[in-house]
Amino acid sequence: MGAVVSNAAAATTLNGSGSTLIQPLMNEWTFAYNAATAGNVTVNYSGVGSTKGVSNLTTAPGSWDFGASDAPLSPAQLQLCPSCRQIPWGLTAVAVGYNLHGLKNIGLHLSGPVLAEIYLGQITKWNSKAIKALNPKIKLPNEKISVFYRSDGSGDSYAFTNYLADVSATFRSTVGNTTQPAFPTGTGEAHNSGVTQAVATTPGGIGYISASYLIQNGMPAAAVTNAWGNAIYPNINNIEADALLLKSVPANAEMHIVDPGKAKKPTCKLSGEPKESCSKLAYPIATFTYAIVRTDSPQLAAVKEFIQYCLSSAVQSRFDYALDFAPLPKIVVKAANRTLSGL
């Protein structure tokens, strides 16, 4: 892209914080934007977790100009920050990373009910009958499953527990869908980087991690069963297929695409994929991630310009694919720009 013409005052600095899921992409976006504005605008971003990012914007608006969250704003957050608005600007997946000696390049298949039982402490060995049934051609080790989860308020936790609560009534009543789940087993680690490091260095480890972190660290992701019973990896096409099932975007932009059902339409026309129902191809733990802005921010005009830059097709296609972020559906981009224009 050529130089960006910004209407912001000279030497404007924007400070944002929040989601670590989007941190790798944000690193690319901010570096390119800072260069494209020729030093007129500098965007700094700190990955501190989705919940903390919203809290920063709510409690210290003088220090923070925008937030980022993979979980939509809750009623409690909106009550504390009635001027806050959420704008979808990224689409990716929460992957299930694992560390099994000798199985790095062999596809592991896990289902939602099995993952629920692992995170409830009911399945504790990798060679359990339930896991073996899903992987009949793999010699699974008689090894303890070391469970890791996010200790901070996280949109990854929100999407992951949303999926498990959908497929397991026991998980739904025991843990539920939340950004800070109280799992009955496992070890908490801060941020995506912390869970990634823990799984990578712990034999038998498992953890839910943003797909881009697995790519950057050369770690395997498990295929997860979708509503059609298909074992799906968190690849670009399969993330995109999930989002293409959206028929509309609500006024508040809150969208839930985890665990889509057996819809027969629309028909997906994805590169390299057969033309069939999007839901057959959909990875079941896909998620949108949102920019969070305050309508009363003195930096609102500059923040809007940055978000519009990130939403442009040229920017998303330039950076997103390498980090396993799928292109936003057209109806989502249209809704996001409509929200921006109304701020």
The predicted structure's pLDDT at residue 140 = 93
What is d(CA 207, CA 35) in angstroms, rounded to the nearest whole number? Answer: 36
Count CB-CB contacts under 10 A for residue 4.
Answer: 19
Report CA torsion sign: 154, 76, 166, 335.
Answer: negative
pLDDT tier at 321 (50, 70, 90 boundaries)? confident
pLDDT tier at 288 (50, 70, 90 boundaries)? very high
| Per-position DSSP letters for 148-170, written without gaps between them | EEE-S--HHHHHHHHHHHHH-HH
Q: Is the confidence at residue 322, as pLDDT, over 60? A: yes
The 10s digit of each residue's pLDDT in 178-194 is 999 999 999 999 999 99
The predicted structure's pLDDT at residue 274 = 67
Q: Is the confidence at residue 4, as pLDDT, over 70? A: no
Task: Judge contact between 164 and 171, C-beta under 8 A.
Answer: yes
For domain 12-90+288-341, the CATH superfamily is: Periplasmic binding protein-like II (3.40.190.10)
3-state per-residue secondary structure call for 84-125:
EEEEEEEEEEEEEEECCCCCCCCCCEECHHHHHHHHCCCCCE
Helix, strand, coil distribution of the chain in percent, nearest 5: 35, 20, 45
The 10s digit of each residue's pLDDT in 297-312 is 999 999 999 999 999 9
What mean pLDDT do residues 262-271 have? 72
Domain residue ranges in the chain: 12-90+288-341
Task: Judge contact between 4 and 39, C-beta under 8 A.
Answer: no
What mean pLDDT do residues 222-230 have? 95
The 10s digit of each residue's pLDDT in 95-138 is 999 999 776 667 899 999 999 999 999 999 999 999 999 999 99
pTM over 0.85: yes
| Residue in the structure block whose two tokens are 């969070």 | 292
The 10s digit of each residue's pLDDT in 126-174 is 999 999 999 999 999 999 999 999 999 999 999 999 999 999 999 999 9
In sequence order, what are the beta bridge partners of 87? 291
Lookup: tokens for 21: 């899921």
Residues 6+ apart with CB under 8 A from 79: none
Q: At what angle do helices 300-311 and 330-341 cross, to 10 degrees?
A: 170
Q: At what angle do helices 300-311 and 23-36 cross, to 10 degrees?
A: 110
Higher-scoring residue by pLDDT: 276, 161: 161
What would you report as the CA-atom Rg of the chain, rounded to the nearest whole angstrom?
20
The predicted structure's pLDDT at residue 181 = 97
